[in-house]
Amino acid sequence: MNLPNKITIARVFMIPVFLVLFMVPGIPGGKYWAAAIFIIACLTDALDGYLARKYNLITNFGKFADPLADKLLVSAALICFVELKLIPAWIIIVIISREFIISGFRLVASDNGVVIAASKIAKFKTTAQMIMSILLIINFDYTVFNMLEQIFIYLSLVLTVLSLIDYLYKNKKVLIEQG
């Protein structure tokens, strides 16, 4: 197993650590440690992709596991935010539904020999979701931070919907061929 894939697997193992630190009450500095773990996990996403491309270490496992690790990390955080009443459930349903739709769409495309790469808008969506998550994990109770949290929640929601529309529109041939 190559280094980028090991980094991806490490990101998956960071998820339960993040969850314990974030959700178990009474851990000294728990939310700050959770934020640190979340940030490290986000940075490993960039690192494994960079290493895989730079050293031509792209594998089928990596193509599958890397986006899965990202979805698991972000979905875990999003579900925690609903539990903590930081985001309305309907927003999380929209965001997670988009992930299922795109994952299924990629499988259909893959069966037809079509590889669907992440679009720029999807990368902005992921970045916005990660920033939103970091803000909500730390959850400073100051007006400026509360405003930033709300801005990133709705920015994430809008980019989620726009990226779904973008993927479907740009790859409508895959849908038409299956219809």
pLDDT tens-digit readout, 103-128? 888 888 877 777 777 789 998 998 99
| Range in 13-17, 106-110, 122-126, 164-168 with the lowest mean pLDDT | 106-110
Q: What is the DSSP letter of 140?
A: -
pLDDT value at residue 34: 98
Residue 157 has pLDDT above 80, yes or no: yes
* Average confidence score pLDDT of the chain: 92
pLDDT value at residue 178: 65
pLDDT value at residue 28: 97
Tell me, letter by letter, the H, E, C secondary structure of 34-55: HHHHHHHHHHHHHHHHHHHHHC
pLDDT value at residue 117: 75
Domain that holds residue 141: 3-178
Cα dihedral 72/74/80/86 (nearest 10): -160
Residue 37 has pLDDT above 90, yes or no: yes
CA distance 95 to 84: 17
pLDDT value at residue 13: 97
The stretch 44-49 carries a mean pLDDT of 92
The stretch 22-41 carries a mean pLDDT of 97
- Domains held by the chain: number: 1
Helix (H, G, I), strand (E, B) or coil at 71: helix
Per cent of the chain over pLDDT 70 is: 98
Which band of pLDDT confidence, cut at 50, 70 and 90, is reported for residue 176? Answer: confident
Q: 47-85, pLDDT tens digit by residue?
A: 998 999 999 999 888 888 888 898 999 999 999 999 999
Residue 43 has pLDDT above 80, yes or no: yes
Q: Which one has a higher pLDDT value, 168 or 91?
A: 91
Helix (H, G, I), strand (E, B) or coil at 150: helix
5 — alpha (psi -120 to 50), left (phi > 0) or beta? alpha
- CATH code, domain carrying 35: 1.20.120.1760
